[in-house]
Amino acid sequence: MPHDAPLIATLAVGFVLAFIFGFAAQRLRLPPLVGYLLAGVAIGPFTPGFVADAELAAQLAEVGVMLLMFGVGLHFSVADLMAVRRIAIPGAVLQIVLATVIGAALAMFWGWSLGAGLVLGLSLSVASTVVLLKALEERNAIATPNGRIAVGWLIVEDLAMVLVLVLLPAFAEVLGGTATVGGHASEAAEHGLLLTLGITLAKVGCFVGLVMIFGPRLVPWILRQVARTGSRELFTLSVLAVALGVAFGSAKLFGVSFALGAFFAGVVLSESELSHRAAEKSLPLQDAFAVLFFVSVGMLFDPSILLREPLMVLAVLAVILIGKSIISLVIVMVLGYPLSTALSVSSALAQVGEFSFILAGIGVAHGLLPAEGLSLILAGALLSITVNPLVFVATDFITTKIKANEGWRRRFEEKRSGPLDRLQGELDAVRARMAVKAAAHKTFSPEELVQKFPLFEGLSEEQREALVLHFHPKSAQPGERVIRAGDVADEAYFISSGEVEVSVSGRRIKLRAGAVFGEMALLSGQPRSADVTAIDYSEFLTLSRGDFRQFVRKYPSIRSQVAALAAQRGQMNEQWFEASANDEPAD
């Protein structure tokens, strides 16, 4: 290379190999996450060939962690969690505690410190929400009660790990690590354990309080102001600035982790329908940097551990596949749910993922977890994610056998169906509330839009079907200027989904799905009198002035309706009708 460019080399090789390995994993019906980790192994220091810059990869991974946690917060659903709270909260908490104890006991059996054991146990206790959602999606089971329980269970695990991410650095030195940061002694050494806990929780509480009080009011307002500029780049940048800005500010002002700040930035954005949908589609960097995070984690994996310590790898894998599964199965059964539900939850937990990597990385950085421990966790993750689809297949087989046997079905399913039936009722209530909320953001078909517009309410069914053929689809992103004042009026816009803002004479009016704007283009040739800007991802059906003229010529009976509407608004252009009449062919 003519110039030394380690950043470009790390990005280029990381992305190319992640694509190749990820695509290969997908073709083998494995999660692409396995391929991303293997790509990191390929460019890591433990394998021959090109070795990426580890320091740069670590910084890129930090950005990936922030955007990954931002996505977790963005998809956090309080309603879904509350519906399954009776099983998800106690079940997840108890399972984390028991799995952590097993992992810690295993580590101490190997001669590791208590701190290393806690990090190992916590890392093995939490499963990957990304892997679970993919598995449920392939089985079309996300909306089922069992699927909701599994997702809610993992949400509680994620929230618990967020708290661990806050507390672990503060107590690293107490647990036997090196918790000095920048040469300063840790707070635990200066103030004591209980005082440090109080200070840490006070900082976190202050941060969370400020973000949750002012965030839902300030962030949507900022995004709307940016959307009005008409710049899509600025809108995308504003969402990215919120995610990274809150994360960085939380670390500098409150001493909490980047991950926690990014998580609550996502939670704040999830409170707004506009912000939620915009953030989901305007952050391509989220997926890109998340891939780099997994690649950087793979770089830390030493494949030789599979040969050097096969028994340790098998022990870790046993904790993930057998220990966690049995714990969760027993918990669900004790709580009174059917065996099929217990099997579904235990299958969901038979793997580890992104939070395990984050925890392991923090453990290594603070001297709590040996490098060997990180390799063991990565080996367990790779192997458990790889075999997780087989675990679900086995679960489906066992569930089918149970339901096919009348005695087993009555004993393990029908007699234990009460809690599941109550949960189904609560989930139905949640869906009903969400349906009411979503009604304001309904997507309208062309036929429905034709029915809603007064100009067309007198049309026959045949005429409406003919008119629908003249519509053309268009779309706009937040911030995109759909109509500018002074432009030639050549088509009307019917909002199928989304929301726009009309600016005229210093006033701003918001229009949502089902509304129409620019309709005077159908009635007159006057220039546009207002600016119209999309403030949400919006879909339109447009009707051009030429197509509408052709329609009027075909159905002259509606000309009186057009004239009445135009007269009512006081903006009728008589020449338009004269031109329309002159264009009409003689009978």
pLDDT above 50 (res 325): yes
Check: CB of residue 577 under 8 Å from CB of residue 559. yes
- Indicate whether 527 pLDDT > 70: yes
Cα 242 to Cα 221: distance, rounded to the nearest angstrom: 12
Boundaries of every domain in the chain: 6-422, 446-583
CA distance 296 to 50: 14
C-alpha to C-alpha distance for 53 and 64, rounded to whole angstroms: 16
Among 44-58, 267-281, 336-350, 542-556, the minimum mean pLDDT is found in: 267-281
Q: What percent of the chain lies above the pLDDT cut of 90?
A: 12
The stretch 497-508 carries a mean pLDDT of 84
Residue 275 has what pLDDT? Answer: 57
**Higher pLDDT residue, 179 or 401?**
401
Distance of alpha carbon 538 from alpha carbon 233, whole angstroms: 17
pLDDT at 573: 39
- State the pLDDT at residue 198: 73
Question: Is the pLDDT higher at 247 or at 500?
Answer: 500
Looking at residue 181, its pLDDT comes to 46
Looking at residue 315, its pLDDT comes to 95
* Average of per-residue pLDDT across 127-152: 78
3-state secondary structure of 476: strand
What pLDDT score was predicted for residue 9? 84
- The angle formed by the CA atoms of residues 237, 240 and 244, to the nearest 5 degrees, is 135
Backbone angles phi, psi at 30, to 5 degrees: -110, 155
CATH (residue range 6-422)? 1.20.1530.20
Any bridge partners for residue 511, and if so which?
500
Confidence check: pLDDT of 576 > 50? no
> What is the mean pLDDT of the segment spanning 252-257?
72
**Of the given ranges (69-73, 480-484, 572-576), which has the lowest mean pLDDT?**
572-576
pLDDT (tens digit, 9 = 90+) per residue, 293-307?
A: 788 878 878 888 888
What confidence score (pLDDT) does residue 565 get? Answer: 62
**What letters, b where the CB count within 10 A reaches 16 and e where it falls short, cover 424-433?**
eebbeebeee
- What CATH number matches the domain at 446-583, 2.60.120.260, 2.60.120.10, 1.10.540.10, 1.10.10.10? 2.60.120.10
Quick one: pLDDT at residue 574?
42
Residue 71 in 3-state DSSP? helix
Looking at residues 287-298, what average pLDDT do you find? 80
What's the whole-number average pLDDT of the chain? 78
Q: How confident is the model at residue 201 (pLDDT cuts 50, 70, 90)?
A: confident
Contacts of 514 (CB under 8 A, 6+ apart): 442, 444, 448, 449, 452, 495
Q: What is the pLDDT of residue 355?
A: 80
Nearest one of 387, 375, 315 to 351, comparing CA atoms:
387
| Whole-number pLDDT of residue 272 | 62
Better-scored residue on pLDDT, 130 or 571? 130
The model carries a pTM of 0.66
531-534, strands of its sheet edge to edge: 481-483, 531-534, 499-504, 507-512
Place 56 in a pLDDT band, splitting at 50, 70 and 90: confident
Q: What is the 3-state secondary structure (H, E, C) of 445-466?
A: CHHHHHHHCHHHCCCCHHHHHH
The alpha carbon of 302 is separated from its chain's Cα centroid by a whole number of angstroms, namely: 31
What was the pLDDT predicted at 16? 92
Mean pLDDT of 11-18: 89
- Indicate the SS3 state at residue 300: coil
* Predicted local distance difference test score (pLDDT) of residue 323: 93
Q: Cα separation of 525 and 518, whole Å?
A: 11
Q: What does the pLDDT read at residue 258? A: 75
Q: Which residue has the higher pLDDT, 576 or 462?
A: 462
- Structure confidence by residue, pLDDT tens digits, 91-106: 999 999 999 999 999 9
More confident residue, 117 or 51: 117
Q: Is the pLDDT of residue 575 over 90?
A: no
DSSP string, 130-179: HHHHHHHHHTT-TTSHHHHHHHHHHHHHHHHHHHHHHHHHHTTTTTTS--
pLDDT for 20 equals: 94
Strands, sheet with 538-544, edge to edge from the N-terminal-most edge strand:
472-476, 538-544, 491-497, 516-517
pLDDT at 443: 60
Determine the pLDDT at residue 346.
Answer: 92
Q: What's residue 578's pLDDT?
A: 44
pLDDT bucket at 161, cuts 50 / 70 / 90: confident
Out of 68-72, 490-494, 568-572, which region has the weakest mean confidence (pLDDT)?
568-572
Lowest mean pLDDT among 265-279, 303-317, 493-507: 265-279
Q: Locate tokens 């925890």: which residue? A: 359
Query: Could you give the percent of the chain with pLDDT greater than 70?
Result: 79
Asked if residue 584 has pLDDT above 50, the reply is: no
pLDDT value for 515: 84
What are 386-441's pLDDT values in tens digits? 888 888 888 888 988 888 888 888 888 888 888 888 888 887 777 776 666 555 55
Q: What does the pLDDT average to over 68-89? A: 76
**What pLDDT does 406 receive?**
86
Report whether pLDDT(110) > 90: yes
pLDDT of residue 587: 37
Instruction: Label residue 580 by pLDDT band (50, 70, 90).
Output: very low
pLDDT at 274 over 90: no
The pLDDT, as a whole number, for residue 326 is 94
Higher pLDDT, 248 or 300: 248
Tell me what pLDDT residue 119 has. 92
Question: How big is the chain, counted in residues?
Answer: 587
Contact, 397 vs 143, CB < 8 A?
no
pLDDT at 124: 93
